[in-house]
């Protein structure tokens, strides 16, 4: 049986029931007054419509979420979230348009609302307790009004921190100088952490701020040393292999304005992967729990994909 054969992917009433269980485990909560008493189902109303006795307001579980005021049926939203969460390298808006039978404008906006939902807020520092965090940077796309040239000056820079056996955290950065990267690294990595990088000069001072810093000399063909098998940055390189295949092979083009949303999408899937005990269904539920308190209107977005 297909994973997409579940009733909540095809019936809007079932979709509301599924989302209510995910967001209201203790029962319906009025988004207007926060009350849980005397909340009733509106008979003859649209799917999922409820009424709060104390404040007399009507609402659904989508109020106050990225799904609010959407004309797309909720069961199609759930399909879109599942497809984005279960596709290792992502799913393009054009593909989603064909699968869901919606317009490209609708599919594009849906993907960005979902990315808004899965983007993490303030997070505690990574590492600590002598854990190992690998750090590297990569370049993607092309800056607006900057002609293509040798090197990377015309590309967008992305910094990624990956804790071995744990999560990933990526940032769209202005540049790759130490002054660009060190404040981000210090703010996101616990001091009691071992850092692994390549031999790039911008990382030279990391040993002053963390428990230790080791590096490999990629320029000399060193990626894993026989004498120091734990010293490598292959984990973050593996993250980039998936990230680049997704950005180049699936999305193909991304504007600078939205790059932070795309890197957050790849961070989310990596940080909630099967190896950490999170399957596709659990990952989808985690994404759905992130929709609360986030709104993204179309006028705040501009076209980011070709």
SS3 assignment, position 225? coil
Asked if 274 contacts 282 with a C-beta cutoff of 8 angstroms, the reply is no
The alpha carbons of the chain give a radius of gyration, in whole angstroms, of 22
For CA atoms 157, 192, 239, 82, the dihedral sign is negative
Per-residue model confidence (pLDDT) at position 7: 96
* Whole-number Å distance between alpha carbons of 257 and 261: 9
Question: 143 with 256: CB under 8 angstroms?
Answer: yes
pTM above 0.85, yes or no: yes
Q: At what angle do helices 74-86 and 93-100 cross, to 10 degrees?
A: 140
Q: Which long-range contacts (CB under 8 A, 24 or more apart) does 10-18 make?
A: 10/75, 11/75, 12/47, 12/48, 12/73, 12/74, 12/75, 13/47, 13/48, 14/75, 15/47, 15/73, 15/74, 15/75, 15/77, 15/78, 16/47, 16/48, 16/60, 16/61, 16/74, 18/78
Handedness of CA 147, 246, 271, 229 (dihedral sign): negative
Residue with the two structure tokens 């008493």? 37
* Other beta carbons within 10 Å of 162: 27
Neighbours of 22 (CB within 10 A): 17
Q: Residue 272 — pLDDT band, cuts 50, 70, 90? A: very high
pLDDT at res. 248: 94
Which stretch, 118-132, 221-235, 261-275, has highest mean pLDDT?
261-275
Cβ-based neighbour number of residue 105 at 10 Å: 12
Beta-carbon contacts of residue 83 (< 8 Å; ≥ 6 apart)? 91, 96, 99
Residue 132 has φ and ψ, to the nearest 5°, of -110, 130
End-to-end C-alpha distance for the chain, whole angstroms? 34
| pLDDT score, position 296 | 61
Among 181, 209, 215, 185, smallest CA distance to 197 is for 215
143 — pLDDT class (breaks 50, 70, 90): confident
CA 201, chain centre distance (Å) = 30
Grade residue 304 by pLDDT with cuts at 50, 70 and 90. Answer: very low
Residue for token pair 């007399």: 56
- What confidence tens digit (pLDDT) does each residue in 150-182 have? 888 889 999 999 999 999 999 999 999 999 999
pLDDT at position 123 is 85
Alpha helices by DSSP H, the chain? 12-23, 74-86, 93-100, 104-118, 178-188, 234-246, 259-271, 280-289
Can you tell me the distance from the alpha carbon of 81 to that of 290, in angstroms, rounded to the nearest whole number?
A: 11
Domains located in the chain, CATH noted: 3-121+291-300 (no CATH), 131-271 (3.30.420.10)
């Amino acid at each position: 049986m297909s994973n997409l054969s579940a009733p909540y992917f095809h019936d809007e009433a079932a979709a509301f029931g599924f989302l209510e269980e995910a967001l209201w485990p203790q029962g319906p909560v009025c988004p207007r007054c926060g009350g849980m008493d005397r909340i009733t189902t509106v008979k003859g109303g649209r799917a999922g419509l409820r009424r709060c006795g104390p404040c007399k307001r009507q609402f659904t579980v989508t109020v106050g979420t990225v799904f609010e005021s959407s004309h797309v049926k909720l069961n199609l939203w759930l399909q879109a979230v599942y497809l984005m969460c279960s596709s290792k390298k992502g799913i393009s808006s054009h593909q989603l348009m064909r699968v869901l039978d919606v317009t490209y404008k609708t599919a594009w906006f849906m993907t960005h609302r979902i990315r808004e939902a899965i983007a993490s807020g303030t997070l505690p520092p990574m590492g600590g307790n002598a854990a190992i965090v690998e750090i590297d940077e990569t370049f993607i796309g092309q800056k607006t009004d900057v002609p293509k040239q040798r090197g990377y000056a015309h590309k967008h820079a992305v910094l990624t921190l990956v804790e071995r056996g744990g999560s990933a955290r990526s940032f769209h950065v202005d540049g790759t100088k130490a002054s660009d990267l060190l404040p981000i690294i210090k703010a996101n990595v616990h001091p009691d952490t071992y850092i692994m990088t390549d031999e790039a000069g911008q990382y030279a001072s990391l040993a002053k701020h963390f428990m230790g810093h080791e590096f490999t000399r990629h320029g000399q063909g060193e990626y894993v040393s026989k004498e120091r098998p734990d010293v490598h940055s292959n984990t973050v390189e593996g993250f980039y292999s998936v990230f680049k295949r997704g950005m180049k092979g699936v999305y193909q083009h991304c504007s600078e304005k939205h790059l932070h949303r795309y890197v957050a999408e790849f961070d989310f899937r990596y940080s909630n992967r099967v190896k950490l005990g999170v399957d596709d269904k659990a990952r989808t539920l985690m994404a759905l729990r992130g929709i609360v308190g986030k709104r993204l209107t179309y006028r705040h977005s501009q076209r980011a994909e070709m």
